[in-house]
Amino acid sequence: MTFESLNLLPELLRAVADQGYTEPTPIQAQAIPAILQRRDIMGCAQTGTGKTAGFTLPLLQLLAPQANASPSPARHPTRALVLTPTRELAAQVEESVRVYGKYLALRSTVVYGGVDIGPQKKALHGGVEILVATPGRLLDHLQQRTVNLSRVEFLVLDEADRMLDMGFLPDIKRILAVLPAQRQNLLFSATFSDDIRKLAHQLLRQPLMIEVARRNATADLVSHQVYEVPAARKRALLAHLIRSRNIPQALVFVRMKRDANRLARELVRDGINAAAIHSDRTQLEREQALADFKQGRSPVLVATDIAARGLDIEELPYVINYELPYAPEDYLHRIGRTARAGLPGEAISLMCSDETKLLVEIEKLLKRTLPRASAPEFHHEDRKPHRLDEHRTPAKPDRHDRHEKRHAPKPVATSKPKAPGIDFSKPYEPAPSTAPKPQVSHPLRRQPSHPAAALLGGFSSPTKSHK
């Protein structure tokens, strides 16, 4: 399968070739022809599958007949609207629109909250064919009549599950109410809850179901390790793992915004450059933290689930769950940040005894037992006077912290995944070992260009099963 065989315009083929893509990913191979045939789509796909190009390329092709270089705003009505849950994802999608549409005279812009609305109004006033937006800010523009959606022919809801999780359903409904009834609808979601299916039922007309990753399954290329450690020793273990494994870049997840700030601060005090990203930070601070992380100035980015959603960090090798998520689906979203575009990645979880129930839920969802890991040398080090200031315990230690603080982490027997069915870890899951890896280097990660899309097909074959 080639991009040429998908009958894409030469302008799009050129843009795709510029990106170094050699073949369509499975979702692209399915979505592009169907969207070009004007079908509604319900795509069950995690980020990292190439879904953005999967909807952007055909949208650009369908809009191409209207491409024109006229300066008149009237010649550039908004015809495609893409809604995303977060600012970062919105910015990334719009960037993709620009990248793939660079040889077409179509205009796009992105609007999201947390930044000055003035420049957005100006861009909208000039006319854009493709508008990428977060729901809240788009409503602001609608209220101020600085956007006109009466000519929209295409609607994309990207990461719809997260939009619902974030409580955007009322906003989405208000936006839907001002769109023309006649339009093509594309809905993408990593997971399919009943609410998503209800929304899809209201929105889509005889949609083509596309499922490139098994629902609620993890990418094959992610290897998982769970360290059992008392809550109060997590930070020391995190610092130890980052140092001893020479982890070059890790996205570290916590549940609460204030914990993101605190952990980043404490890591910096420990000599590890870290930044935090969460929804209470200004857009400028978020962008700065992300840029520092992407460019390697701070190897650790501490994030909350919502802030990290949709982040596309090229070749991110490690996701670390400093705390396990309350919702097991969030584990999937988190690890979706690594092993993108076919590259292998590692998901490390630091689990304290309070969190064993959360792990059980995650393992139930994944239908497998996650391999346990241990750090005997950390255990050993722990008996010696420690370099880190261990008295800097969390601001409000909970009962559990106080109780467990004095104990070193227990080395846990390693175990093979024992659940039947697909072994997700193949072929990159390292053999369970009690010794730490001195350094993890991925052979694929060094490759400069995007790896063959075939690697992205490492997900399960399409199935029609939905919850």
Residues lying near ligand AMP in the complex (CB under 6 A): 21, 24-25, 28, 47-53, 312, 314, 340-341, 450, 453
List of E strands, 87-167:
108-111, 130-133, 154-157
Q: How far is the CB of 267 from ligand AMP (least distance, A)?
A: 27
Q: Which residue sits closest to ligand AMP, CB atoms considered?
A: 52
Alpha-carbon gap, residue 326 to 423, rounded angstroms: 25
Place of tokens 């045939």: 37
By C-beta, is 92 or 425 nearer to ligand AMP? Answer: 92
Alpha-carbon gap, residue 212 to 204, rounded angstroms: 19
Tokens of 99: 């990248």
Q: How far is the CB of 24 from ligand AMP (least distance, A)?
A: 5
Q: How many CB atoms lie within 10 A of CB 272?
A: 19
By C-beta, is 240 or 309 nearer to ligand AMP? Answer: 309
By C-beta, is 245 or 333 nearer to ligand AMP? Answer: 333
Which residues are 303's β-sheet partners?
Answer: 253, 277
By C-beta, is 47 or 189 nearer to ligand AMP? Answer: 47
Q: How many CB atoms lie within 10 A of CB 17?
A: 11
Q: End-to-end alpha-carbon separation of the chain, Å?
A: 31
Q: How far is the CB of 71 from ligand AMP (least distance, A)?
A: 32
Alpha-carbon gap, residue 277 to 238, rounded angstroms: 18
Q: How far is the CB of 226 from ligand AMP (least distance, A)?
A: 26
Place of tokens 């729901």: 135
Q: How far is the CB of 130 from ligand AMP (least distance, A)?
A: 16
Q: How far is the CB of 93 from ligand AMP (least distance, A)?
A: 8
Q: What is residue 338's three-state secondary structure?
A: coil
By C-beta, is 30 or 49 nearer to ligand AMP? Answer: 49
By C-beta, is 50 or 328 nearer to ligand AMP? Answer: 50
Task: Indicate the length of the chain as a whole number.
Answer: 467
